Structure 1
Amino acid sequence: MKKAVLPLLLLCLCSANLSAQKAKAAKKAKKQTTKEVTKAASDYDKWSIDFGGGFVKASNPMSPGYNTDATNLFNANLGARYMFNTKFGLKVEAYYDVLNNGDNSQEFESQVYGASLQGVVNLGRVLEFESWTKRIGLFGHAGVGISQLANDQIKDNDQLGNFLIGLGGQIRLSNSVALTADFTMINSFSQQRTWDGGDYLDTELRRKQGFDSTLYHATIGLSIYLGKHEEHADWYVYNADDKIDNLDSRIGDLETMMNDSDKDGVPDYLDTEPNTIAGVAVDSKGRNIDKNGNGVPDELESYIDTKEKEVKQTMSAEIGDLINGGYVNAYFDFGKDQPNAQSVGGINFLIKYLKENPSASADVVGYADEVGDTEYNKLLSARRAENVKKILIDAGIDGSRLTIKGNGEDSSVNKESAFARQTVRRVTFIIK
């Protein structure tokens, strides 16, 4: 009964500590996951400068005997566009048109100056063009604007209000530039003059003025993307599956970091002594609590001293069982046959036991992990046991009380886990 109480108590304390650590890490991982998804969903540039030029065609109203050709030059436009996301945005645009007479028209020249505010829809993303191309885009846009018509025949420029609707295509030249082609219809109202500069003198023309007034723009140009990200919203495609896979991998790494090889309640990535005696209390950095600096954890030393005063023989038997149960070990770095610095406490524990129990003897049993040649590992485990025996002899233990065994590879842990392999590169002791 006595032998079971302490290990059970220590196990409960370690489990509670580890559960708290894992809960805290899980909360942090969830918060980080949400942050990463939010960041990934807007990891693109939103501003662009759009400009172009081409043809302008004036439809009604025109005075009798006046018209323009379909290939009338010219139009120039300049705008700034902001995308709220990959599908919707706004743009502000200014344009300048020159209207000239056609081949079968009386001569005239008019100028139109205009500005507009339009909503933009990235039809390429809406229609999922990315499923078959990453270089061709399609945009729809519509909005309102103002303009004025100027002509030598007009004393005061004619002020117009406009409705605009258009459709444009894109060819992606690079992450910073796209070639554009656009067709826009501008419908005007409150127009007092014909496009050639004439007045609405005819009653029938006056009756038709308003929404019957139309300009058509056919242009080509460029979109220049602004920002520090790799892609603009015009072309960015958020791949949720890739992001989730990446986050799953990171969570998996976090779970690995939370492993506790020596079962002391401190995750390996925070544990400065990853090979402390299992079940013995440690500080927040995983170090044995040893205030008197004698190499034996205070908790274990106090337990030994108290029981030794009460029933020395019983306590010796329990300590022997603790050693035989694998709680006291010397550990080794990969490929090394000398114990590492964290093994001092375990070796010193055995020295103290053997000195206080001069009739006891011990098997010194060496092990290696599964990495490498089996025969080599067999010899390595024997050298480890021999070197630990030498330390015990140098500490005053009669060599005749110690028996060397090289047990070779310990295959009880996952050989792919670097953390798990640390626990089997060891020398353990069997008290007889």
Structure 2
Amino acid sequence: MIATRARPAESDGSLGRNPDEGARRMNIVDDFEGGTPTRVNLADDGAVRCDPVTSMSGSQWFYWCVRVDGLERGATGRIDLHWPRRWTEADVPAGAERETVSRMTGHDSFAEVLPSCIHLSEDLLHWSPAENVEGDGGRIAIGLRGTGKPFYLATQIPYLRPHMDSLLEFARGAAPGCVRQIGRSQDGRPLWEIVLPATGGPAAQRPTIYVQAYQHLTEFSGLHVADALVRHLLGDAGASARAGLNWQILPCVDVDGLHVGVGLRKNWPAGHLRATNPNRDWVTRTWPEVAAIHSFLESQVREGTRYVAAFDLHNGWKDRIASGATYTVFPPGEADDGYIARQKDLIEALYHGTDHERPGVGHYWPHRTGGRTFTHAFKAITGGLASTTEFSRFLWWNRAKGAFEPARPDHPRRYARDMAGVLSEHFGNA
């Protein structure tokens, strides 16, 4: 745990001034599930300076979350969030492709975007935007007013173990028997699949949609969308989307990462697979989670399941990529013209039916490690259309407003609703 105490001062605690003496007991805590390692110091003006310990500053992968304890009711304080310098070309591994260099160093709007993406919570489940935030270059100043209770600060809306427990409880209550264990993680945790048979006739005769999320630690946006999709499909509003389609949703691939927590990753034992990328493991399948999903899909195909499409949900790899941007990653020659044409029709339908900026169709993104991803495995096993869908960590494209806006809790729900409707219309009669 890292903690500090702010010393008393005389001002009213507004941004740019010293916190008042009621903030003298304010502690910053980082050793909880979802917390991130943070160095804490007392600034000369009495504010608490937080420096996240991360190499992902200035990028789409940046994530920071701490708990604030001891801020008395009505007391004011200020946290100054700093981040290390951004990566430069000198930091990028030798031999990396040009696009990799661009992804790691080309995040010019990071400092502009982040101040509007600070959120607060008292329970890690319900979040609201922070109201008193200013940014200038490599620092964000967060003005605080105490309620007498501990609260959390984060640079986005995290999705943590309580969220997953709530989702599984909801699914089991709404559709008994729909939650199935298909394997275990490296640390022995169950890998859950939510299977929702079509309601409009024999399920065996209906096409199946497969969705998975959270191959990568802290890519919470995909988890939020998967959660929202399950809740939508099991509610009255999602009944039509279930009539003609079977749905299989695996909301969390990296269950160990979700349970161990970002801030506690130092507790992973030596040699843990967490040092590798599961989305480059679909050929060798050394991750037990990857092997279990691969075997599950193979067994489903043997039993006659007709997969028509899969969506692998991630956070975007550009700072201003539009949430919901769906694309394929097949090298030339790996997918025939007919497959690419069907994929293009599907992605165009999603583009026009949901809020995101632009579709990407049939292109190959040259992964730095050269490994085949989930989409390659799904196509090889099932023959179905396989897509990666990227959601922005900090921003959401609002088609109605024609502009980006900070991510909010209703955005995943809106996207899940639209996605279900588009896929129902596109495949319902397949």
Q: What's the TM-score bracket when you normalise by the shorter of the two chains?
A: under 0.3
Normalised TM-score (structure 2): 0.25
Q: TM-score, normalised by structure 1?
A: 0.25
Larger Cα-atom Rg: 1
Larger RCO: Structure 1 or Structure 2 (Cα < 8 Å, ≥ 6 residues apart)?
A: 2
